[in-house]
Structure 1
Amino acid sequence: MTIRSTAARFLGASSLAFVTLAAQPALAQDADAVGAEEAAEGQLNTIIVTANRREENLQDVPVSAATLDASTVRTIFDAGAEVTALAARVPGLFVESSNGRAAPRFYIRGLGNTDFDLAASQPVSVVMDEVVMENVTLKSFPIFDVERIEVLRGPQGTLFGRNTPAGIVKIDTVKPGDEFAVAGAISYGSFNSFSADGGVTVPIMPGVVSLRLSGLWQQRDNWVDNGFTGEEDAYGAYSEVAGRAQLLITPGDRLSILGSYAIRDLDGQSTLFRANILGPGDNDLNDNYDRDTVFYDAGGRNEASYKAEIATAKVDYEADFATFTSITSWANSEGSSRGDIDGGNLVTGPGFIPFPSDTQDSIDLEQFTQEVRIASNSGGMIDWQVGGFYFDSDFDVTTVGFDFPPPVTVNHTNESWAVFGQVSSRLGDALKLTAGLRYTEDEKDFVVVSGAAPQPTSVSDERISWDLAAFYDVSADASVYARVASGFRAPTIQGRDVAFFSPPSVATSEKIMSYEAGFKSELADRRVRLNGAVYYYTIEDPQFSAVGGAGNLVQLVNAEKGRGYGFELDSAFQITPDFLVTAGASWNNTKIQDETLAVGICAQCTVIDPTVVLAGTTRALVDGNLFPNAPEWIADVTARYGVPVGAAGEIFLFTDWTYQGKTNFFLYESEEFNSNNQIEGGLRIGYAKTDGSFEVAAFVRNITNEDNVKGGIDFNNNTAFVNDPRVFGISARVSY
């Protein structure tokens, strides 16, 4: 498959050449030191974010944002976890997947998309090293050798474009530097779980050419039995390898050229669905549930295999008045996953299964992006930036039913371009105003390639996104801000139902208006950090996916309106130089506002909503319901306590906990398909050098071995899927 637009390639090549020849570069700098001031003993570290596409102190940015540093990320992934482990790690963020490790679904402030198809769009954008990971299979690219992860809550349409009305998950990896450096971690745990990741920086010509090589290897053995066939340890295994090479060239004081190439190779299994484990009549796990056993008669061992590669070239040229930046990127993703969707068999169940379902979806995708920016050099009373962006993707999705339906391949193409600008101005010593504007055009085309009648469908839209923020320093330690922002999710086409003899469905653009006010503070001689925000947003034509139901369909629908409001609180307490506690919480109230919206319902569950019969099919009226997969409460707590050992080491204890409140899985409400009061925690005990150069620890993830239901499959029976079991292990980390 090839990208269809030669204009895209020309734009990328010409802009790259222009920036290379035109003006001035950014010097390579140590990522850990950029923009950060050294914290005195017993003080909290400064947090650097790039919400405005430049490095700034989190406390100076008028956006509700939270970060995860490299150490925290490694702790989360100690037992070989993948992207969904980010769920509830910061207030307002939720992540789940019914596609195993291949296609995560992100939600911020309750906005997301429950669509399980590989062509699904999402209102949360994942940006890795300044490149948008648009497709769901790219969003699952492994996270390793990271500098930080930023979660920017609320619309980010001015600087990051369409499909960001909920916010952004921004992942920045460690870059090459001027000094030799090595950092890595290795862990081993239950189920023969193994995880290793790290990177090494090699200055080939110090100050001129530097190379960073990094990689990841994660694997786990099968640990789930098949109770139907009698096979032991038949499911649960995976093996994933990923790598990244980055070459930084700084031929002068002004020019910086960074090229990177990343690959991913996953051999694993899709999500293990478990038949009839909920209710009936409640959301409790019943006697059909056994964490260590499934009862499959199909699914081809639920095999999932995906490969991806991403190539990027970034050029910065720093002139006397501004920095010119060009980012050109190409990505490819291909693979397939198959599953026993009904979660059981017709002979022994468990429970009643009306008919079998065994399907496989595969994708072959190419994505091209080009961005050009000109940004003023920081330090003056006014900061500004302007730029342009081009996006082009082309992919095939094939659906195969091994008894039903017959194979069908459809093609999706998406072309979009935008121009944008932002300006920030200081009005005196205390007040800063920021305004941004973006114009976007987006076009999608859909056609059946084989296996069904051609059904060409096209959608397009053009929109203006904008934001306006005011930031006021109340004192040297505390600030308040207010922000108004608009954004949109581009129109979408969903064609998976073509394989089930239904036409593709279309959703028009989703438009959001968001109002936010917050405060940021560092108190007690910078030993306490308290940041908070309250927000209210309204959505016109919110896009939802009506998934499952007795007809087993995936249909896009637009509700008339939607609204949400709530708050987020992020805090950190350096109680003593050796005792750090962080805590976060968010409360979110969402509502669908459409008196006529009716969607398909489950085959066997207990529906709470009023129902109507349309065209002979019973449907639920969902007006007033929560958005699907929008937890009402999210909370997280971490604590680290160290006991000095000698002059250069310490014995430490670190624990982290997350809480997920009431969550409805689908558009309609039922007694079975929801969750509440889910808690999951981890613990690490070990020895560490105080300079961060070495650490060895014993750990446990899901320490209380919680059985938390993470989602459901509703069309056939009361099928659901659950979280990972408890894992014990040991780990070691080095950095020098």
Structure 2
Amino acid sequence: MSFASAYMESIGMSTPFRMKALCAALAALVVPQAYAQELTGAASAAVPAAAAAAAAADVATSGAQASAMAAVVVTAQRRSERLQDVPVAITALSGDAVLRSDQIHTANDITQFIPNASASATDGRSRPRWFLRGIGTNETAASSVSPIGIYNDDVFLNNVYIQAFPLFDTERVEVLRGPQGTLWGKNTTGGAINFISRKPAFDTDGYAKAGIGSFGEKIVQGAIGGAAIDDRLALRLSVYNEDRDGWVDNIVTGTKTGAVSDSAVRGQALFKVDSDLDVLFSVRTRKADGDVNPSFFVKGPRQVVVNPLYLGAQRGAGAISAAGTGTEEIKSNGVSATVNWELGTGLQRYSLTSITSRDTGKRLNLSTATFALPTSAGYQYTDSRQVTQELRLASPKAEALSWIVGAHYFDEALDNNSVTRNNRIANASQSSASGSSAGSWNQEHYWQDTRSAALFGSVNYDVTDKFTVIGGLRRSSERKDYTLDFQQSTNTGSGPANSATFDDAVPYYLPGAVANGLNPLQTSSQSATWRNTTWDFTTQYKFDRNVNSYARVSHGFRAGGFVVDQPTASTRTIKRLDPETLDALELGLKTQWLDGRLTFNTAVFHYKYENKIEAVLLPSTTSASGTRQVQENAADGRSRGVEVELAWLPSSNARLSGSFGYLDTRYTNYASTASGQTLDATGNRFSRAPRFSGTLDGEYGFPLDSGAVIALGTDWSYRTRQFFNAVDQSEPTLWQDAYALGNARLVYKSADGRFELAAVVRNVTDKVYAILATGSATGNTATRQVYGLPRSYGATFTARF
């Protein structure tokens, strides 16, 4: 008899109970070990109930009688609950909505259908900039942590470079707005987004979807699953592949830029030990490569561009003039085990959940000058490996008093190596029309280890059958150890005698490429531990099944961190960032009318932000380019607003959905000194926080005599002016004015609902709009802008079985 078996028997565990415990323990332990061995060898829904509207989309494409929308079940509070009953601001998109939409390709695309939300991926298929209700970050360093928690099947993904993963074979997406400092794995100030894959089932089912479009776009995805062993083992395999050519002409190289290639595979196995215990294993891999988004350079009225070489293509141009462009390669792998165990008998059944995961992400970014001459080249390699473990125990929900307690652990090892080579080229100076660019080489290599642990709990008490109070508490501790190596060429000037020279026989990102010497290696390190207690308190009153109101106050916390600082041109130091906190008040109302055919939800909120971590490009009097990128604690601010979400089935053949967001953000105290001068940003609005935003989505189906349906649909999104820089909000090239984007579709659906053929037009008005602007009004280069895709066309065929 093993020691474990003997111990279990000694404390009274029966043999069946021991078997279940051993299965659960094995699932929790085998994942990291197995993975270590491996390493060594849409737009259909834009509503509150976006998922409800998506379920109702079938009404418009089937000719069925208009009826109540299907009830949407979510797990936002770590229990399966009807969305309309959850006292939290949450938007859900169903898997059918994601599959039907031709605008949703990657995870960040879903925010175009969420009020007060955005997540532009400004550098290709990596590092989306997540924002909810004005809370987010423009910082793209791998060492930073977003205030929006991104989860894939309940697994927190810390590495920003792997968060724009493809969406395929999805069950639903849940978007929670506001501080998530109680039940969710990693404490965040702005919200949490959970992408939930379709799980294996014992009935055989699957789908296949193929699409073609403008710029040589080709997308194929599909899944198949079913029972491998009756009532014991179910399997599911899901695949995705996307290829798209470049969409912008580079008149220097004679090629197109903006190409994408992205492929992913996910395999799952559901093992039912018995009726009380099941274990879900998931293995996933992804590889993406392509161009970094093309950059356009725009001169503003306050900017002085001394050398025309640094202007490049103008706003709205279909071409760029660049000596080269950036390319990136992303590889990610993950494996997880989720154990669900029902304990107890009768009504006293408790749910024990264990989620164990290991994920890795690697990104290689190579870049050359974005100007007409090869003034520079860049290299960045990032490697992250994370392990997470979560345990939760939930009491029976049927009781008047119910609770959930749990623990979460996160451990990440991050390695980031960045190299920049600047070439000396005559007449290529930023500050002089006849001067030369400086020749230099430098390397910043840092390692960051992060360990986070938390204990949490939440209690629900039904005071009456209509009135409920909910309280949650979480104690978090996070430690970071950061080490930085910096090395620079001995010569860093623009003149022949003090400029670095290179051996082109050696790759430019290796120290051996510097032919005339390197300065001694600079090494520094720092460590810090941050602890905080976060909480929430909610009162909920249900007038009846169709009208639910709530009031919620909460306190969120985002741990501090470290970033590379540049006090002088020849030194790099480690800068420490303090934690930020956010206190939130929210009032919400969720309603359904007209026998369930109309859903109307609304929420008002007020946030008080303290010690906000901000990332900006600031004017600098010491930098040759006139700008300096910094990350700092930006003192205090507030965000307040209103959200409205609507889904309506006006007839048996039509549906309409939409959302509206109002956002008022301000820095109440922000004096920035990080660039070497004092800049007062008090009163400025948060970046990427338009005052008004909205979506509208409609579809009408025309039933045919055969039982098939032809449907016409369109969806639109609108945003007012948004600023890309929190400090400089007077330069027009650093903001995007109000704009609307529209898409149109024509759909044929077979009578049995198994086949669907669609033709789509995206960005029907061919709107030119910026998704990023970096630069300074006082700099001597133009503002770099990145644009969204122009008008494009596509066709898709979907088969379900």
Give the TM bin, normalised by the shorter chain.
0.7 to 0.9
Matching residue within 543, 561, 565 for 2:636: 561
> 1:732, 1:280 → 2: CA distance?
50
Q: 2:338 aligns with which of 307, 311, 314?
A: 314
Question: Post-superposition shift, 1:199?
Answer: 1.2
1:250 maps to 2:272? yes
Match of 1:391 in 2: 410
SS of 1:455's equivalent in the other structure is: strand
Task: Name the counterpart of 2:196.
Answer: 172
Matched, 1:461 2:461: no
CA offsets 1:216-270 (integer angstroms, 9 cap, x no match): 10110123221234x043x121111101000000021011000001001011111
What's the CA shift for 1:693? 1.9
Q: CA 1:659/1:598 → structure 2, altered by over 3 Å: closer, same or farther?
A: farther
Alpha-carbon distance, 1:516 to partner: 0.2
Alpha-carbon distance in 2 for matches of 1:129, 1:580: 30
* Shift, 1:681, TM fit: 1.5
- Answer whether contact 1:586 1:635 (CA < 8 A) is retained: yes
Aligned pairs for 1:162-561 (under 5 A) are: 162-229=186-253, 231-233=254-256, 235-276=257-298, 288-298=314-324, 301-320=325-344, 321-340=349-368, 343-345=370-372, 356-403=375-422, 404-449=440-485, 451=487, 452-495=521-564, 497=566, 501-547=571-617, 549-550=619-620, 551=623, 552-561=627-636
Match for 1:705 among 755, 766, 786? 766
Which residue does the alignment assign to 2:683? Answer: 624
Checking the alignment, whether the CA contact within 8 Å between 1:310 and 1:330 is kept in structure 2 is yes
Q: Deviations over 1:166-211 (max 9, x none)?
A: 1011110100011000123211001110112221112101221000
Partner residue in 1 for 2:430:
none
Shift in CA distance, 210/502, structure 1 to aligned 2, threshold 3 Å: same
Q: Does 1:735 align with 2:760?
A: no
Q: Alignment partner for residue 745 of structure 2, among 672, 678, 684?
A: 684
* Kept in 2: contact 1:275–1:344 (CA 8 A): no
Superposed, which structure 2 residues align to 1:646-661 within 5 Å?
A: 646=705, 648-661=707-720
1:603 matched residue in structure 2: none
Q: What is the rounded CA distance, in whole Å, between the counterparts of 1:405 and 1:165 in structure 2?
A: 38
Offset of 1:41 from its aligned partner? Answer: 4.0
Name the structure 1 match of 2:110.
86
Q: Which residue of 1 aligns with 2:503?
A: none
What residue is the counterpart of 1:594 in the other structure? 669
C-alpha distance in 2, partners of 1:336/1:97? 16
Q: SS of 2:315's equivalent?
A: coil
Structure 1 residue 161 displacement after superposition: 4.6
Write the distance in 2 (CA, Å) between the matches of 1:592 and 1:509: 17
Q: Do 2:105 and 2:167's aligned partners in 1 also have CA atoms closer than 8 Å?
A: no
TM-score, structure 2 normalization: 0.81
CA–CA distance in structure 2, aligned partners of residues 86 and 405 of structure 1: 40
Corresponding residue pairs, total: 682
Deviations, residues 275-323 of structure 1 (Å, cap 9, x unaligned): 22655689xx99723543111114xx41110100011011111112201
The CA distance in 1 between the partners of 2:451 and 2:598, in whole Å, is 46
Q: Is the 8 A contact 1:497 1:554 kept in 2?
A: no
CA distance in 2, matches of 1:357, 1:586: 42
Deviations, residues 664-715 of structure 1 (Å, cap 9, x unaligned): 1012113220112121111110211355322101111111111111111215
User: Could you tell me how far apart the structure 2 residues matched to 1:405 and 1:286 are?
Assistant: 25
Quick one: structure 1 residues 402 and 522, their matched pair in 2 at CA, closer, same or farther if it must change by over 3 Å?
same
Report deviation, 1:450: 6.0
Residue 46 of structure 1: how far off its partner (Å):
1.6
Q: Is the 8 A contact 2:693 2:720 kept in 1?
A: yes
2:787 aligned partner: 722
Judge conservation of contact 2:116–2:689 (CA < 8 Å) in 1.
Answer: no
Specify the SS of the correspondent of 2:399: coil
Alpha-carbon distance change, 19 to 659 in structure 1, aligned in 2, over 3 angstroms:
farther
Secondary structure class of the residue paired with 1:652: strand
Contact 1:537 1:563 in 2 (8 A): yes
Q: Determine which of 106, 129, 132 is the counterpart of 2:130.
A: 106
From 74, 85, 91, the equivalent of 1:60 is: 85
Kindly state the Cα deviation for residue 599 of structure 1 after the two structures are TM-superposed: 5.4
Q: Deviation at 1:427?
A: 1.8
Percentage of pairs with the same residue: 27
* Alpha-carbon separation, structure 2, partners of 1:171 and 1:278: 40
Q: Which residue of structure 1 aligns with residue 428 of structure 2? A: none
- 1:428–1:80 CA distance, 2 compared to 1 (3 A): closer
CA distance in 2, matches of 1:411, 1:479: 48
The 8 Å contact of residues 598 and 622 in structure 1, kept in 2 or not, is answered as no
Q: 1:12 corresponds to which residue?
A: none
Output one character per residue of 1:358-399: Cα deviation in whole Å (capped at 9) or x when no partner.
Answer: 423220110000001111233232321111110000111111
1:150 to 150, 174, 179: 174
Shift of 1:100: 1.4
d(CA) in 1 for partners of 2:684, 2:485: 38
Q: What is the SS of the residue equivalent to 1:555? A: strand
> How much has 1:631 moved relative to structure 2?
2.0
User: Residue 637 and residue 279 in structure 1: after superposition, are their counterparts in 2 closer, same or farther (change >3 A)?
Assistant: farther
For 1:200 and 1:334, how far apart are their aligned partners in 2? 29
2:147 is aligned to 123
One-letter code aligned to 2:545: A
SS at match of 1:73: helix
Structure 1 Cα separation of the partners of residues 109 and 362 of structure 2: 23
Offset of 1:90 from its aligned partner? Answer: 0.9
User: Are the structure 2 counterparts of residues 120 and 23 from structure 1 closer, same or farther at C-alpha, using a change threshold of 3 Å?
Assistant: closer
- Report the Cα offset of residue 454 of structure 1: 1.2
**Residue type at the aligned position of 2:321:** F
